Structure 1
Amino acid sequence: MKTIEVVAGVICDESAGTKKFFATQRGYGDQKGGWEFPGGKMEPGETPEQALARELKEELAVDVEVGQFITTVEYDYPKFHLTMHCYFCSIVNGSVTLLEHQASRWLGPQELHGLDWLPADVDVVSAIEAF
């Protein structure tokens, strides 16, 4: 089975005094309609942090500061094995513009279980709650 290595950003905002997490709804492919933490494939020679900053710029038109490592999720989808490295991030420049996703939401900690997450991202939610 082919392995795909990706990065995902758990974008946090605490500016309103409560912590919110940014989730996106996939707008394409086999997983269309499922919710995920944004990110994408690593390019040869990139560190996970470099790949994440690039992917979030490409998908959301924002510059981020990549922060603390959260977890690496290993998940077997029907057509491939996913290795997903996840990091907390904060937006340092720009306003979120959805360039590849069909919807997005800012979620409080108590709202994290209210979405139909893609299977690998369910593990990320659990890891966030463990922090």
Structure 2
Amino acid sequence: MNTEERKQIEVVAAIICDGNRIFATQRGYGEWKDWWEFPGGKMEPGETPEAALQREIREELATEIVVERLLTTVSYDYPNFHLTMHCYFCKVKSGSLTLLEHEAAKWLTRDELGCVKWLPADEEVVEKIKSRKHISQDQI
């Protein structure tokens, strides 16, 4: 199946930072259960990536975030669909990152990012983060 025939999914992902740590979540359902990802989800029609990210984090983690800036956009071919994922550095505005959809979560330093089994598309984001000199809030 070529990319034109494959289902296209466009999502946003939050790289939530607190000092030198990044928030990672573990999927609790579906084909990729137990794999780790940056939280986020699908964009609704007419929604900006920033608005989608704020809505998704509110729905998944009962938390309000500030979307700081785009790190990267990943294009990845999964077996059944093509994913376009816009990944933004974010910080918590209010709330306590309550897990409403994921089975687990961890704060990881850049050196600890390789300690979990990331979803394939998220691995590209992890590599991008690791290649940066800093991940602290004032360096974003």
TM-score (norm 2): 0.89
Superposed, which structure 2 residues align to 1:96-115 within 5 Å? 96-115=97-116
CA distance in 1, matches of 2:131, 2:71: 10
Match of 1:130 in 2: 131
Superposed, which structure 2 residues align to 1:15-26 within 5 Å? 19-26=20-27
The number of residues matched between the two structures is 127
The alpha-carbon deviation at position 33 of structure 1 amounts to: 0.6
Match of 1:116 in 2: 117
The alpha-carbon deviation at position 128 of structure 1 amounts to: 1.2
Superposed, which structure 2 residues align to 1:69-80 within 5 Å? 69-80=70-81
Q: Which amino acid aligns with 1:64?
A: I
Secondary structure at 1:101's aligned position in 2?
A: coil
CA distance in 2, matches of 1:120, 1:73: 7
The alpha-carbon deviation at position 109 of structure 1 amounts to: 1.0
The alpha-carbon deviation at position 96 of structure 1 amounts to: 1.1
| Superposed structure 1 runs of 4+ greater than 2 Å apart | none
The alpha-carbon deviation at position 80 of structure 1 amounts to: 0.5
Q: Which amino acid aligns with 1:117?
A: W
CA distance in 1, matches of 2:66, 2:131: 22
5+ residue gaps, structure 2: 1-5, 133-140
The alpha-carbon deviation at position 130 of structure 1 amounts to: 2.6
CA distance in 2, matches of 1:48, 1:130: 24
CA distance in 2, matches of 1:130, 1:52: 24
Secondary structure at 1:33's aligned position in 2?
A: coil
Match of 2:136 in 1: none
Match of 2:10 in 1: 5
The alpha-carbon deviation at position 92 of structure 1 amounts to: 0.6
Match of 1:86 in 2: 87
Among all aligned residue pairs of Structure 1 and Structure 2, give the percentage whose two residues are the same amino acid.
Answer: 62
TM-score (norm 1): 0.95
Q: Which amino acid aligns with 1:128?
A: I
Secondary structure at 2:9's aligned position in 1?
A: strand
5+ residue gaps, structure 1: none
Q: Which amino acid aligns with 2:92?
A: I
Secondary structure at 1:52's aligned position in 2?
A: helix
CA distance in 2, matches of 1:129, 1:116: 15
The Cα RMSD (Å) is 0.6
